[in-house]
Amino acid sequence: MTKRVGDILTAKVTDENDDHYFGQVDGLTYEIDKKELEKPLHIGGLVTGFAYENDAHRLQLTKHIPDVRLGHYAWGKVTDIRRDLGVFVDIGLPNKDVVVSLDELPTIKELWPQRGDRLMITLRVDQKERLWGELITPELLQAVRIPAKPSLRNKNVKATVYRLKMAGTLVITQDYHFGFIHPSERLREPRLGEVLEARVIGVRDDGNVNLSLRPRAYEAIDDDAQMILTLLEKKGDHCLPYTDKSDAAAIKRYFGMSKSQFKRAVGHLYKQRLIRQDGDGIHLVISGDDDQA
């Protein structure tokens, strides 16, 4: 007799004990936990719930319908890892986590999801009538994609890794924008399912975004260089009429630092290609859109 699990069923209530009601669907008996019911059920009545096999290997119906069902995709949180099996994902069932098989996970186990990471999954039933979690495909994920606007550039976003590729990391932001992280824009390769804090460094014509996990330049430089960079950003023409040949007293009055400090900070910014210098002073380098992935 085929188990019916992974979807919403309606059962006829046939019995009860102190802890459970029991309902039947096509000759199979499902238990219903009394603790989750606001009102008692009646023998002979009907009850509708999500059907699954609990950790005790008994069929159960729950009134708490999870978003993850057969044919329905939603986020679930990773709760445990078994290297010989896969990762366990909480989809909201009271006594059951579903497993995403190791066959769907990266070959490099260091890139597997860890506890607290999240995966967008659906359910599938195998030939032994067991429920498994199944990762959403990039093609299906397109259905929830929202194109980003150019104004998102340089903003911080939260993004979840949904696919790992040789060319880089594919993510989806909290606002459902698709993102790409080139290997040069990360200090390490993120895990599948890892939630990242990233910065938008480019918005492509198709509405996808290029992201960086590296700190902004002014976050990676010393205080003097950061102050000069900030002053340049605030100026309408992004230019300051000072160079390493400017009068030390003028530099002190304007920047509040010695000429040697100024030259060191300007040299740092120049090496990072954040500024350029000419006879008029120092200029902020305004880069075009980043190369698209």
CATH code, 233 = 1.10.10.10
The residue among 212, 241, 264 that closes a domain is 212
Phi/psi for 269 (5° steps) reads -65, -35
Per-residue pLDDT of 19-56, as tens digits, reads 999 999 999 999 999 999 989 999 999 999 999 999 99
The 3-class secondary structure across 16-81, one letter per residue, is ECCCEEEEEECCEEEEEEHHHCCCCCCCCCEEEEEEEECCCCCEEEECCCCCCEECECEEEEEEEE
Mention every residue, 6+ apart, whose C-beta is less than 8 A from residue 100: 86, 87, 89, 119, 121, 132, 133, 134, 135
> Are 66 and 93 contacting, i.e. CB atoms less than 8 angstroms apart?
yes
The HSE-up count of residue 216 (CA atoms within 13 Å, CB side) is 13
Average pLDDT over residues 109-114: 95
Which CB contacts under 8 angstroms, 24+ apart, belong to 272-278?
272/217, 272/221, 274/217, 274/229, 275/228, 275/229, 275/232, 277/243, 277/244
Q: For tokens 């938008």, what's the residue?
A: 200
Confidence class for position 287, pLDDT limits 50, 70, 90: low
Q: What DSSP line would sit under 210-227, residue for residue?
A: EEE-SPPGGGSS-HHHHH
- Residue 83: inside a domain: yes
Asked if residue 68 is part of any domain, the answer here is no
Residue 29 lies in a domain: yes
Q: Which domain holds residue 275?
A: 217-284
Contact 158, 174 (CB under 8 A): yes
* Cβ neighbours around 220 below 10 Å, total: 12
Give a yes or no: residue 290 inside a domain. Answer: no
pTM recorded for the entire structure: 0.71
177 with 151, same domain?
yes
User: What is the enclosing helix (H) or strand (E) of 124?
Assistant: strand 118-125
- pLDDT score for 206: 94
Instruction: Give the count of domains, the chain.
Output: 4
Asked whether the beta carbons of 145 and 92 are under 8 A apart, the reply is no
CATH number at residue 14: 2.40.50.330
Q: Looking at this protein, which amino acid is placed at residue 290?
A: D
Same-domain status, 79 and 129: yes
Residue 142 in this model has a pLDDT that exceeds 60: yes
Query: What order of strands is seen across the sheet that includes strand 281-284?
Result: 239-240, 281-284, 275-278
Is position 247 within any domain? yes
**1 vs 195, higher pLDDT:** 195
Residue 291 DSSP symbol? P
Last residue of a domain, one of 159, 188, 212: 212
